[in-house]
Amino acid sequence: MRQCWLCAQEADDVWCSLLHDVEDARAYGWDLPEAPQLQWSRFIENKNNEILRLNGIYTGILTRAGVQILQGKGSFVDAHTVAVEGEGGTKNYTAKTILIAVGGWPFVPEIPGKELAITSNEAFYLKELPKRVLIVGGGYIAVEFAAIFSGYGSKVSLVYRGENWLRGFDNDLRTHLKTEYDTQGIGVRFNTNVTALAKTASGIAATLTDGSVEEYDVVMFATGRKPRTETLNCDKAGVKLDDKGAVVVDEAMKTSSDNVYAIGDVIDRIALTPIALAEGHCLADTLFGGKPRKVDYSDVPTAVFSNPPIGTVGPTEEEARKQYGDVHIYRTSFRGMKHTLTKREEKTLMKLIVHPETDKVLSVHMCGDAAPEIMQLAGVAIKAGATKAHFDSTIGIHPTAAEEFVTMRSRV
């Protein structure tokens, strides 16, 4: 167990991410005269400024394209009319075609003291960095925020009601990341949930399903997001919702009302920003561009920005075996060259799943540095129908982690 000179805590207890990058520099010969000090308020200010900058850019793009932006809260009056409630009151607007793209909203279950919890909406508006954080959930957001808070020096615990987190990801990735978080000192517990929250003199008391009570400074729920349709009055437009509140659409993104369409998280298909963009692009081409087309939801590459990050494209091993039978598995786990000097116990996992008859690479899975960057081009290879022979005949770039994908020869 190494002593972390930057955060004055043992490295197995708190993983400092960026701070540890500085610490790792010592193994490469660098000495720093002073330990870095965190200015949380500066980070929040810079984050706010970046959001304003991006909003300005998108507003400019829309304005130059001739889009009229109405600031307010909208709801349906009928299938062709939307009421917009703004500072100057409520005004009705009519249109031939209406698109619903309101996204989703974090969901906090009904438990005593739920008002004491925060969600991802509030996480980056905290006035100071909490020392003790409990995260409830096991999806993208929960896993990512566990790494974020831990990386800034908080003591982090994560509880999830299921047997394993990151549902829908390959089991090797799920198990590997759990081991990495254990090594970093992030307390991950499965088959555990929060049943109540209560304010104390020094924090928030969280009661768990086993009856134990633990105290934290912040309790963050990342237990899912619900389509944001509650106040849209979709029934007035004849727009049907499913039992989760998602807008029901066909392959062309059309709702049950002929002139109303919906895209993005509000239709609850694949909740990823690039998917919403693709859906919007296809809809615009179909309705107004004279190029009818539909979104291809197969082999969507995705990433979890955990620490280390996950990148994946294609089916899990379980899904592949169910569909193709005795698929060929190639897998390796190793400590990256960077850490052969730092001695940090961080490992990379890489995995290929190959069709047993056609030799086509069905899936690429990775947990390790640069996994999201690597997976973007792996997604191109999968879409192009690359085979294991193509991977094998490709010259590796040395020394990189990515070369392992073209040098794995032995099946497991």
Strand partners, 384: none
pLDDT of 344:
80
pLDDT of 13:
33
Are residues 25 and 58 located together in one domain of the fold?
Answer: no
pLDDT of 12:
32
Contact 265, 104 (CB under 8 A): yes
Has residue 296 been placed in a domain? Answer: no
Q: How far apart are CA 120 and CA 141, in angstroms?
A: 8
Which is nearest to 270 in space by CA: 245, 295, 290? 295
Look at residues 224, 256, 271 and tell me which one is the last residue of a structural domain: 224
Has residue 412 been placed in a domain? Answer: no
pLDDT of 8:
35
Are residues 121 and 212 located together in one domain of the fold?
Answer: yes
Has residue 255 been placed in a domain? Answer: yes
Are residues 123 and 260 located together in one domain of the fold?
Answer: no
Are residues 92 and 233 located together in one domain of the fold?
Answer: yes
Which is nearest to 311 in space by CA: 275, 365, 383? 365
Are residues 214 and 136 located together in one domain of the fold?
Answer: yes
- Average pLDDT of adjacent 10-residue blocks, the chain of 412 residues: 35 48 82 83 94 96 96 97 94 97 96 98 95 98 96 96 97 98 96 98 97 98 96 98 97 97 97 96 97 96 96 98 97 86 86 98 96 97 98 96 96 94
Give how many domains the chain has, as a whole number: 5
Q: How far apart are CA 66 and CA 136, in angstroms?
A: 43
Tell me whether residue 398 is one of the annotated catalytic residues: yes
Has residue 107 been placed in a domain? Answer: no
Active-site position among 80, 328, 390, 398 = 398
Are residues 8 and 155 located together in one domain of the fold?
Answer: no
Q: How far apart are CA 85 and CA 154, in angstroms?
A: 41
| CATH number for 317 | 3.30.390.30
Q: How far apart are CA 97 and CA 108, in angstroms?
A: 34
pLDDT of 16:
45
pLDDT of 1:
31
Give how far Cα 265 sits from Cα of 262, 272, 324, Å.
Answer: 9, 7, 31
Q: What does the block give as tokens for 334? A: 């190793």
Q: Which domain holds residue 56?
A: 39-69
| CATH number for 262 | 3.50.50.60
Exposure on the CB side of residue 321, measured as CA atoms within 13 A: 7
Contact 399, 339 (CB under 8 A): no
pLDDT of 14:
32
